[in-house]
Structure 1
Amino acid sequence: MDHGFFVELIVLLATSVFTVWLFKRFKLPAILAYLVAGVIAGPQVLSVITDPKDLVLVAELGIVFLLFSLGLEFSVPKLVAMRQLVFGVGSAQVIITLLIVMLLVVSLNQTWASAFVIGSIFALSSTAVVVKSLNESGLTQTKRGQIAISILLFQDIAVVPFLIAIPLLGAEGEGSMMFAILAALAKGAVVVTILLSAGKWVLPRIFNQVAQVRTDELFVLTAILVTVLAGTLTNFFGLSMALGAFLAGMMLSESQYKHQLEADIRPFRDILMGVFFISVGMALNLSAMITQWPLILSGIALLLLVKTLIIRHLAVLAGETSADGWAAGLMLFQMGEFGFVLVALAQQFDLLSPEISAALLGIGVLSMAVTPFIINQDKQIIAFGGRIFGTTQQDYIEQQEEAEFETNLSEHVIICGFGRVGQTVSRFLKSEAVPYVVLDVDPVRVAEAQAAGENVQYGHARDKAILKAVRVDRAKLVVVTFGDLTKTQTVINNVKALSSNARIMVRTKSDEHMGFILEEGADQVVPEALEGSLMLVSQVLFESGVPMSRVLRRIRKERENRYGQMHGFYQGETTDLAANKRDLLEFIHAINIPPSAFAVGKTLESLKLEERRVEIVGLRRDGKEVSSPEPDTEIKAHDVLVVKGKPRRVERAERYVLTG
């Protein structure tokens, strides 16, 4: 057994863990961390793995799973709903950027094949970095966010023909590029027909049989098998394995197994993609990047200028505001993660020189690194550019705060989210003639509800402009029905910031974050799990002969006490004790007091467990329960002390009671 291999693997993993942790502390993308880890572990620094080709096969699997996940997200209804932006602005951006960059590169005495590769790389942006930054900044549902996501969606589709064309360009050499692309598309059409037919008639039956077995391992294995088989089929036709994986994902995107497949594949995808970017980092030629720094800076400037201007003008032509166009252009100026894939693919077929490849990788790393900063500072950047292009910062702010609708309601209820809970609330409000307005971000659901006469508007309550439009300052109540904690926190903060006197009611699935939400400013939190238990308790008590008036008093008291009797439970074998869950739970734990315990002979009061934020809920002695033990009750050997609190506090309290 080669022990050297395990040493290399351990050092590589340790380097990756440290760099990812460090980059996340500075809120930088994990992709960049993997690239840096590859540089450190590569032959130019530590030489942990002297031959990066050892990782090529694993890295290729990472791309295969990435494309499979992309295919799962490829929703035809979503494309139809956003077709003007996706196929209008998105396609025009990719084609125009590709042509402009190709002409510039050819003018620098590069071949048409190399120019096509570089143009393809520059035409794409980073879906991972942009979408993550949009989510973190709460801009996903704004108009500029929708423009950016629409363009990214078409770019993701455009990756597929690029992956088809580049290997054939390498095979054709200086031959006809158009012929190579047409031949690739023809082969692609055959493969698509075969795979879509299999997806329609064969795969549903296979996954139905697998799902009936109810074995997670078999489901994951089947998903991996389908992905690799599809990739092998496209590879047999001389096309990219990644194309086959994309088609496999697309086949299953409309199936009932989509979300389960996505969840099962994600760990493999993330780890293998990390390996891919590590292999890219190992291939980085640092000395070449240092010598090519003028080319790298020129490339970043070209990206920023060309893509931003193209996206801005295309957005305006599509009827969007100039400010939204500028903002979307700045979001998408960078080179994307698929650019690294195309660089690696082009290197395999000798379409790019080592110097140009190093420069492109440098452009990608630096442009992705500054993207989160640019998205967060877009107001200041647009204000600076406004003096040149005629758009002032005030214009930007005014356009940003415009809403497409406004309501004249007063003393009304604002419902945030129109899922099953929101729809149920609205029906009861309507039956009692209570005025209300609903906010939702699902375009299909909003269109359906508006057609049926519901007072539903498209917009996210995280945007202050939307809250102003629905007159939150005159509202009686704001009801938050979605379960996302971050979004809920933003809504509460925005309602408070707009000086609204409306009461805020939040629906949650459980009581894990109830205290936090109340501290943020919510007036009432309704945990579904506890409310369901209360309804069950009320029925059990009534059926057991307890008068309904007494049952209702108990239920009302429990709610006023913030479900105090319903907190704390005995842990079991299946209790989730993960690090992110552990401090959100409350345990009830029985502590057996042996004769040698520290607490023997001491009173409950003298132990001062309340200072350790642990509550004593009971005491058992000689097999009988001592109801409501007094503070001066003395603990004896063989007593059982029952305490309630957070897991870590209960553990510390038990240690103190036993050992002092």
Structure 2
Amino acid sequence: MNSTFLDVLLMLAIAVVLVWLFRRAKLPAILAYLTAGIIAGPDVTGWIADPQEYHFIAELGVVLLLFGLGLEFSLPKMIAMRRLVFGLGLGQVVLCTALFAGLAWLILPNWSAAVVIGGILALSSTAVVIKQLGESSQLTSRRGQMTVAVLLFQDIAVVPMLIIIPLLATSGDVAIWQSLGYALLKGAAVVVVLMAIGKWILPHLFREIAKLRTDELFVLATLLVALVAGGLTHVFGLSMALGAFLAGMMLGESKYKHQLEADIRPFRDILMGLFFITIGMQLDLTVVSSNIHWVLLGLIGIGLIKMLVIRTLAVSMGERNKDSWVAGLNLFQMGEFGFVLVSLALSVQLLPADIASILVGIGVIGMALTPLVIQRSDELVMRFIKATNDAIQAPQTSAPEQGKPILVLGFGRVGQTISRFLQNEELAHLAIDHDPKRVQEALAGGAPVFFGDAGRRDILKAVHAEQAELIIISFADDPRSVEVLRALRSINESATILVRSKDDTRLDQLMAAGATQVIPDTLEASLMLVSQVLSRTGVPIRKILARIDAARRSHYGEMHGFFPGESTDMAPEKLERLQFLHAVVIHDNAFACGQKLKDIRLDELDCVIKSVRRDDTELKEVSGDFELAANDVVLLSGGPRAVEAAESYLLNG
């Protein structure tokens, strides 16, 4: 058997085990891939003789990562947040790059290498920070918005860094500006070509492919577009990742955006995993262990500098002192794009291998600590600044202890329907869901949902499931429901538990596991489940029947609209029939800020406003004279394209 095949097979096996272990410990998967690379590298097992053999495949991972970043890039959001993005974000990147470059020059008297190190350390981890902010309910807070704004500009700053690093390696100090100007001209030409292709060719191409309803062809076309765009920029002497980013940005405005994201994600995740494995292979453990004091000192110093820079800039812009400190602390680490830039600098021989290993060591430790730091950011900041008043009011990340709220396990479409009916009756309830995107969207819309696995006893105890009198399992996954039932009954034997099921094939098994009542699927099943919930909470039966009848007479209008998650089917033929809910934060510079609803007229975009959340108060019935204010959270309902158009209109007009 081919030795290369065995190497890859063994490497993937180790990666699978490590990703499982790291995710169980709630650590980023990136760290698992880096650890797999370290194990495969020369300092541990040494079975991968030449990591450069996998460099090309790993580079494809970077290409798809930038393609995905382009798809998610929101120009309307960036414009609406321009004060924070181009004030706080630009200031942070420029000042931190300059400070870190100056410190690096004292250690390594080479301006080119120092500038690269400064740029690498100025970046933070978008993937890890955004995920942790979503899980801790901080994403829509003011500190969360500041953090997102800085990350947004950092993602933009990666693009010119991809251009500058190869130029620094090939140009002298005199010719660098000429080379940079020439590169910008070539980049502008590539942008014009790609934009023309994206406007006049790609929409027709994907429309014809979508008509065939062939998933394989859609996936192949997506990969082809990303790679052709990367190859085009490579021909012009620029980074392949730059072309992929531009291609993603073009397609991000098309109606195929959601399907493209879903199609590209498996390939991107696998290839990015291989990329981080190759980074781990290049980590010299001897260098890191002998310089561990510098690694730890560098991690602390980088974090303190970022905190001070962001806090100073934010306070000067009128932000609250405590929110400014927390936003700075959230961004203390080096990000995943830092690893990309380290790899690029190594490939063009701009950084010594030992310095690269130290940087990777700083990045690995920083990303490992990020979840813990963000969860305890308030406590750490209060200890750091020793404040006695104006305490930070963090959003609640665990269930309130008073009362016995109803538990809804699973916040998919049926779970959200139940939640709406319970809210109408002003009944206290909590939901648990394990889809991070759905939880993030729902939290932004003011829903009482928490991230976690409902089958774990520690999660159930965190929401006081042992005290609950009524629990609803709303996801249609019978084997998982059995596990959750057993976990629930081990801590609460007396609660009434209603279970949604696909059909009655496992009715006996679900009843034996502890279900009080099993209810079939479909929309009528969800109405039946709501009637049982309301009945058991003491609502009069006539009122229940009236509400159910009203829902039927309105063609289930109250049930339309749901928060999409990563598992939501985004096939083009289904997109036009879906009704999404999406929360939009009205920033200071947004078009809709200060406007009355009757002047905005979102109904012309086939989109309606379900509610407005202001200062943690949800306003459901807002009239045409209602005036939107800064930091309002508007909950939109409509088709995916209508919601995107409405968000763009609210932000930019």
**TM range, smaller chain:** 0.5 to 0.7
Q: Is the 8 Å Cα contact of residues 32 and 369 (structure 1) preserved in structure 2?
A: yes
Letter in 2 for 1:361: V
Residue aligning to 1:30: 29
Structure 1 CA distance for aligned equivalents of residues 358 and 200 of structure 2: 47
Normalised to the residue count of structure 2, the TM-score between the two structures is 0.65
CA shift, 1:536, in A, is 12
Residue aligning to 2:309: 310
CA shift, 1:144, in A, is 1.7
Structure 2 CA distance for aligned equivalents of residues 200 and 96 of structure 1: 37
Residue 396 of structure 1 is aligned with which of 391, 394, 419? 391
List per-residue Cα deviations over 1:154-181 (Å, max 9, x = no partner): 1111100000111111111444443333
CA shift, 1:319, in A, is 2.7
Gaps (5+ residues) in structure 2? 397-410, 428-439, 502-518, 529-540, 549-566, 568-653
How many residues get paired?
Answer: 484
Residue 532 of structure 1 is aligned with which of 523, 527, 532? 523
Q: Is the 8 Å Cα contact of residues 65 and 227 (structure 1) preserved in structure 2?
A: yes
Residue aligning to 1:370: 369
CA shift, 1:531, in A, is 5.7
Q: Which has the higher contact order (CA 8 A, sep 6+)?
A: 2
Q: Is the 8 Å Cα contact of residues 505 and 526 (structure 1) preserved in structure 2?
A: no
Residue aligning to 1:385: 384
Residue aligning to 2:88: 89
Q: Is the 8 Å Cα contact of residues 414 and 526 (structure 2) preserved in structure 1?
A: no
Q: Is the 8 Å Cα contact of residues 113 and 351 (structure 1) preserved in structure 2?
A: yes
Higher mean C-alpha deviation, range 510-519 or range 17-26: 510-519
Larger Rg: 1
Residue aligning to 1:183: 182
Residue aligning to 1:571: none
Structure 1 CA distance for aligned equivalents of residues 58 and 156 of structure 2: 21
1:29 and 1:491, CA in 2 relative to 1: closer, same or farther beyond 3 A?
Answer: closer
Q: Is the 8 Å Cα contact of residues 43 and 50 (structure 1) preserved in structure 2?
A: yes
Q: Is the 8 Å Cα contact of residues 226 and 247 (structure 2) preserved in structure 1?
A: yes
CA shift, 1:510, in A, is 5.6
| Secondary structure of the corresponding residue to residue 390 of structure 2 | helix
Residue aligning to 1:581: none
Residue aligning to 2:122: 123
CA shift, 1:368, in A, is 1.2
Alignment of 1:111-260 (within 5 A): 111-260=110-259
Structure 2 CA distance for aligned equivalents of residues 37 and 535 of structure 1: 45
Structure 2 CA distance for aligned equivalents of residues 297 and 97 of structure 1: 19
Structure 2 CA distance for aligned equivalents of residues 19 and 505 of structure 1: 35
Structure 2 CA distance for aligned equivalents of residues 529 and 72 of structure 1: 38
Structure 2 CA distance for aligned equivalents of residues 132 and 385 of structure 1: 24
Letter in 2 for 1:252: L
Letter in 2 for 1:396: A
Structure 2 CA distance for aligned equivalents of residues 166 and 294 of structure 1: 28
Structure 2 CA distance for aligned equivalents of residues 278 and 147 of structure 1: 32
Q: Is the 8 Å Cα contact of residues 233 and 244 (structure 1) preserved in structure 2?
A: yes
1:422 and 1:535, CA in 2 relative to 1: closer, same or farther beyond 3 A?
Answer: closer
List per-residue Cα deviations over 1:365-389 (Å, max 9, x = no partner): 11111111111221221122113xx
Letter in 2 for 1:326: W
Structure 1 CA distance for aligned equivalents of residues 175 and 295 of structure 2: 30
Q: Is the 8 Å Cα contact of residues 164 and 239 (structure 1) preserved in structure 2?
A: yes
1:54 and 1:214, CA in 2 relative to 1: closer, same or farther beyond 3 A?
Answer: same
Q: Is the 8 Å Cα contact of residues 161 and 185 (structure 1) preserved in structure 2?
A: no
Letter in 2 for 1:138: S
Q: Is 1:267 matched up with 2:266?
A: yes
Structure 2 CA distance for aligned equivalents of residues 222 and 171 of structure 1: 35
Structure 1 CA distance for aligned equivalents of residues 27 and 473 of structure 2: 33
Quote the RMSD (CA, aligned, Å): 4.4
List per-residue Cα deviations over 1:588-635 (Å, max 9, x = no partner): xxxxxxxxxxxxxxxxxxxxxxxxxxxxxxxxxxxxxxxxxxxxxxxx
Residue aligning to 1:542: none
Letter in 2 for 1:260: Q
Residue aligning to 2:69: 70
Identical counterparts, % of pairs: 47
Q: Is the 8 Å Cα contact of residues 15 and 36 (structure 2) preserved in structure 1?
A: yes
CA shift, 1:400, in A, is 3.7
1:167 and 1:485, CA in 2 relative to 1: closer, same or farther beyond 3 A?
Answer: same
Q: Is the 8 Å Cα contact of residues 510 and 530 (structure 1) preserved in structure 2?
A: yes
| Secondary structure of the corresponding residue to residue 133 of structure 1 | helix
Q: Is the 8 Å Cα contact of residues 195 and 250 (structure 2) preserved in structure 1?
A: yes
CA shift, 1:141, in A, is 2.2
Gaps (5+ residues) in structure 1? 403-416, 437-458, 468-478, 538-551, 560-577, 579-660
Alignment of 1:396-435 (within 5 A): 396-397=391-392, 399-400=393-394
Structure 2 CA distance for aligned equivalents of residues 514 and 319 of structure 1: 49
Structure 2 CA distance for aligned equivalents of residues 533 and 175 of structure 1: 74
1:189 and 1:496, CA in 2 relative to 1: closer, same or farther beyond 3 A?
Answer: same
Structure 1 CA distance for aligned equivalents of residues 450 and 441 of structure 2: 14
| Secondary structure of the corresponding residue to residue 107 of structure 2 | coil
1:186 and 1:491, CA in 2 relative to 1: closer, same or farther beyond 3 A?
Answer: farther
Letter in 1 for 2:327: A
List per-residue Cα deviations over 1:219-254 (Å, max 9, x = no partner): 000001000100000001110000001111101001
| Secondary structure of the corresponding residue to residue 61 of structure 2 | helix
Structure 1 CA distance for aligned equivalents of residues 461 and 374 of structure 2: 21
List per-residue Cα deviations over 1:96-143 (Å, max 9, x = no partner): 111111222223352221111001101100112112222232322222
Structure 2 CA distance for aligned equivalents of residues 141 and 380 of structure 1: 20
| Secondary structure of the corresponding residue to residue 158 of structure 2 | helix
CA shift, 1:151, in A, is 1.1
1:505 and 1:199, CA in 2 relative to 1: closer, same or farther beyond 3 A?
Answer: farther
Residue aligning to 1:408: none
Structure 2 CA distance for aligned equivalents of residues 461 and 221 of structure 1: 33
Q: Is 1:357 matched up with 2:359?
A: no
1:9 and 1:492, CA in 2 relative to 1: closer, same or farther beyond 3 A?
Answer: closer
Structure 2 CA distance for aligned equivalents of residues 105 and 483 of structure 1: 42
List per-residue Cα deviations over 1:40-65 (Å, max 9, x = no partner): 11122212111111110111001001
1:523 and 1:319, CA in 2 relative to 1: closer, same or farther beyond 3 A?
Answer: farther
Alignment of 1:456-475 (within 5 A): none
Residue aligning to 1:329: 328
1:213 and 1:372, CA in 2 relative to 1: closer, same or farther beyond 3 A?
Answer: same
Normalised to the residue count of structure 1, the TM-score between the two structures is 0.64
Q: Is the 8 Å Cα contact of residues 62 and 272 (structure 1) preserved in structure 2?
A: yes
| Secondary structure of the corresponding residue to residue 112 of structure 2 | helix
Structure 2 CA distance for aligned equivalents of residues 140 and 524 of structure 1: 32
| Secondary structure of the corresponding residue to residue 395 of structure 1 | coil
Q: Is the 8 Å Cα contact of residues 39 and 45 (structure 2) preserved in structure 1?
A: yes
Structure 2 CA distance for aligned equivalents of residues 421 and 7 of structure 1: 46
CA shift, 1:284, in A, is 0.9
1:272 and 1:462, CA in 2 relative to 1: closer, same or farther beyond 3 A?
Answer: closer
Q: Is the 8 Å Cα contact of residues 133 and 139 (structure 2) preserved in structure 1?
A: yes
List per-residue Cα deviations over 1:257-295 (Å, max 9, x = no partner): 111111111111111111001101111111122223333
